[in-house]
Amino acid sequence: MTAIFLSASVPVPGRGHYHETADPFLIQVAVRELVAAVIRDHHLVWGGHPAITPMIWTICEDLGVEYARSVTLYQSRFFAEWFPEENKRFSNAVLVDAVPEDREASLLKMREQMLSRDDLHAAVFVGGMQGVAAEYELYRRFHPEGRVLAAGAPGGAARDLADQIGDREARTTVDFAHLFRTAFPASGTER
């Protein structure tokens, strides 16, 4: 089973301009449609942003998927006091040791461990802030031939990335179900 990396967050004021274009509802819809499109045929990997982990927990519950087989949550211990309650429900979460008193180094350490997985074949970006650019660069470093899809319509840093990589359909569409099912067809279907 191949893995797909999800880089997503809901942008907040005070952390760059990303909140100005972000639509939290569309971010939620895009994440939901991605999970629904890929969860039965691919393994989903993400870094535990507190706005996204509860979404993924709820979606997995709604779809009745086996977490250990279907998803892997990565989290830096640097953020342990802010872990959402849902983190406890993912029994196969990967907790990466923090770099003492260094937020950025702790994030980099977690991202490198997460994005260096050999089974990753694609990365999807939705919403997001500064971390989107950092994760995109790391993903490209570890997987130069891997697929990249930046859903731009929900705004945030993923919109900037969609502009950068020039994927017009992914930049503008709100038909996320079609976008993700076309990009990641179910087993036994043609692309």
Q: What is the pLDDT of residue 165?
A: 92
Q: What is the pLDDT at residue 188?
A: 55
Would you tell me how many other CB atoms lie within 10 Å of the CB of residue 137? 12
Read off the pLDDT of residues 115-146 as tens digits, 9 standing for 90 and up.
999 999 999 999 999 999 999 999 999 999 99
DSSP 14-65: TSSSGGGT--HHHHHHHHHHHHHHHTTTSEEEEE--TTTHHHHHHHHHHHT-
CATH 3.40.50.920 fits 3-183, yes or no: no
Contact (Cβ atoms closer than 8 angstroms) between residue 60 and residue 71: yes
- The residue among 45, 67, 76, 55 whose CA lies nearest residue 10 is 55
At residue 191, the pLDDT reads 40
- As a whole number, the mean pLDDT across the chain is 91
| Beta carbons of 152 and 171 less than 8 angstroms apart | yes
